[in-house]
Amino acid sequence: MSRVAKLAALAAVSTAAVTLTAAPALAWTNGTFTATANANSLVVRVNDTVVATCSGSTLRGSITSTGSFSVTSATATGCGVTVTPTGFPWSGSFTSSSPTSGTAAINGFKMTALGCTYTGNLSGPYTGAAPPATATFTRVPVTGSGGLCFSNVNVSATYVFTQP
């Protein structure tokens, strides 16, 4: 390979590396966040039958500029049954696949309802180039433990993440 060809190949590789690392992520600042689920957007299903639809839910915690976050408190209200978020902190992240979208994850999700504790890791798409960002979790399976728990339980929720 000639010296000119080697330099051209090196320049192409360097340009590709810069292009791959230059995609912008969400414009979070280190600090706190609030994620709010609008009315009827937190739904619990058992075998595709809705057993709880909550009129509201809020997550609060801290987030870094890289999109990693920690949920330190949560509420679920107006569910028709008592739903209690527990087991904090839950960890999470926003991983961008484009300037305006990617994957949101909440690990360690844990709520009690109907005498059982349901746990799991939620994952789903998000949209938004900067706060607010909307994360949608659709029929994500969770596992129940304690008492006579339902099997085949899944959770759906849509949260809008904002910063003060």
DSSP 88: P
Model pLDDT for residues 11-66, shown as the tens digit of each residue: 333 333 333 333 345 688 999 999 999 777 789 888 888 888 999 999 999 999 99
Place of tokens 């509201």: 56
Collect all residues with Cβ–Cβ distance below 8 Å to 63 and sequence separation of at least 6.
28, 30, 31, 32, 33, 69, 70, 161, 163
Show the tokens assigned to 122: 């939620």
pLDDT for res 11: 39
Place of tokens 């709520």: 111
- Asked if residue 132 has a cis previous peptide bond (ω within 30° of 0), the answer is yes
pLDDT at 116 over 50: yes
Q: Within a domain: residue 49?
A: yes
Model pLDDT for residues 52-82, shown as the tens digit of each residue: 899 999 999 999 999 999 999 999 999 998 9
pLDDT for res 26: 64
Residue span of the structural domain in which 145 resides: 24-162
Q: Within a domain: residue 15?
A: no
Say if pTM beats, i.e. exceeds, 0.85: no
The residue with greater pLDDT, 14 or 158, is 158
* Overall number of domains in the chain: 1
* CATH code, domain with 42: 2.40.160
